[in-house]
Amino acid sequence: MKTLIITCLNLVYKLFVHINFVYGAAFIICILTKRYSKKKKYTVLALSKPVFLEDVKAIDEVSDSICFLVFPRMLLLEYIRKHALSYSIPSELNEVTYYPLIEGTKEQTNIYKDIAKLFTILHKWLRFDAIFSGNYTYMSQQEFCRVALKNSIPTIVLYKEGMAASIITSKKLTHELYSTKKCVSTKMLFYNEAIKNTLVKANIPGITESKSSVVGVPRFDKYVKNNRIGPSAKQITLFAFNSKTKANRFITDPEKISKYIERGELFHIHIVRFCIEHPEFDLVVKVKSAKNAKNDVFGMLDKYNIRKLPKNITITRKGSSLSLINESSFVASFLSTTLLEAILQNKPIMCPYMYDIVGDCKIDFFHEHETAVNLVKDYNDVKNMIGGTVRLNIPTPIAKNKLLQPLIFDLDGLASKRAEKEIINVIEEYK
């Protein structure tokens, strides 16, 4: 019933946007905006994104001053669709092409004007003091944040991407990743120094050293403070990843790219195959929230002739990484912060072995820390690791600290408090 109601509200909202009934559109957005906690000194509009909201919740739990409103960010895309119908969203017009295609056009002007009207009503009704986002690149927030800054409402970004920033070494690659993007924000907060330095040096308009601070990973605080091993049922959680995307981001040699993609895909296939052959294990394949993420996984399975999955295998968008990792005996993925969460929970992790393809290059979090991870090259590796015929790699406390310190800034469990302080400082500067 709840899903049906939300679907109906979304349909009505789209109608209101296209007939210019701004009060109606604002009213529906307010209905779909949820308060995390009781009213406090400051109210911050948090632009919804699953992993980012785990950071938001962590900050909310330790803050006596900030109340977060979870805002349905994706609804703002309807204004882009309304005025930029000549572009196919999200394929032709996306986070990379937004400014090259839109900036300075009448489409951008019209999007801005409509969102300005919406913003005025939302701010009057919701009374927020700042906007908080998990990325600076989302199309849906570009004009919204521009309007906010014009109205003296600061925008703070806790950049939830870029854990692989320390892996990027090529100037060409840095240019490809960041050259078309702009940052419309008052303050940038980062998980670690490597991410901050990479983005500052990339000369992205709007990102400067003076506007940047490193706070750590708020959602990891609970793992640092409660470092016990949770339930360890016969469940494997595979956080699915797109091998092609990662290959194109970190590798330039075409021959290596194809081998890298195949190894990444087969990593998924080997784990699925093991659980098909061993129904005593439950496998949860957690996909990203993107619309086509599940279809991408099914397409990959079909490519390797796996067309029917048994009951012990589930492919889902639902579930927090915290609960899934806690319930699992193995966690599998590649270049994902979920692997760091698993290490903090003392869970054995599995990643595809790529070093025979890329050589002695830093292509993941575990370069020079191979004893912290179980590397999978073929099906026998999966079979031996999960089946218990080989000794699993689990990092010692010293090795864990050496691995994690550069990635999550500090293992003191105070990232949420640091983020809270930065948010409050920015709000008070604007008061």
For residues 167-195, give the mean pLDDT.
82
User: Of 12-16, 168-172, 261-265, 302-306, where does mean pLDDT reach its minimum?
Assistant: 168-172
Residue 382: name the closest of 275, 249, 250 by CA. Answer: 275
165: pLDDT strictly greater than 60: no
Domains 2-217+411-430 and 224-408 belong to one CATH topology: yes
3-state secondary structure of 74: helix
Percent of the chain with pLDDT over 90: 64
Q: Which residue spans within 144-279 are E strands per DSSP?
A: 155-159, 187-190, 212-214, 235-239
Q: What is the mean pLDDT of residues 294-303?
A: 92
User: 224-408 falls under which CATH superfamily?
Assistant: Glycogen Phosphorylase B; (3.40.50.2000)
Mean pLDDT of 166-178: 65
What's the whole-number mean pLDDT along residues 403-415?
89
In this structure, which topology does domain 2-217+411-430 adopt according to CATH? Rossmann fold (3.40.50)
Cis omega (within 30 of 0) on the bond before 90?
yes
Mean pLDDT in residue range 110-134: 97
> Any idea where the domains of the chain sit in the sequence?
2-217+411-430, 224-408
Find the range with the poorest average confidence among 61-75, 229-243, 343-357, 371-385. Answer: 229-243
What residues are paired with 189 via a beta bridge? 158, 213
Residue 205 has phi, psi (to 5 degrees) of -55, 125
- What does the mean pLDDT of the chain come to? 90
pLDDT at 141: 96
Higher per-residue confidence, 30 vs 228: 30
Average pLDDT over residues 176-203: 91
Taking the alpha carbons of 273, 276, 281, 286 in that order, is the dihedral positive or negative? positive
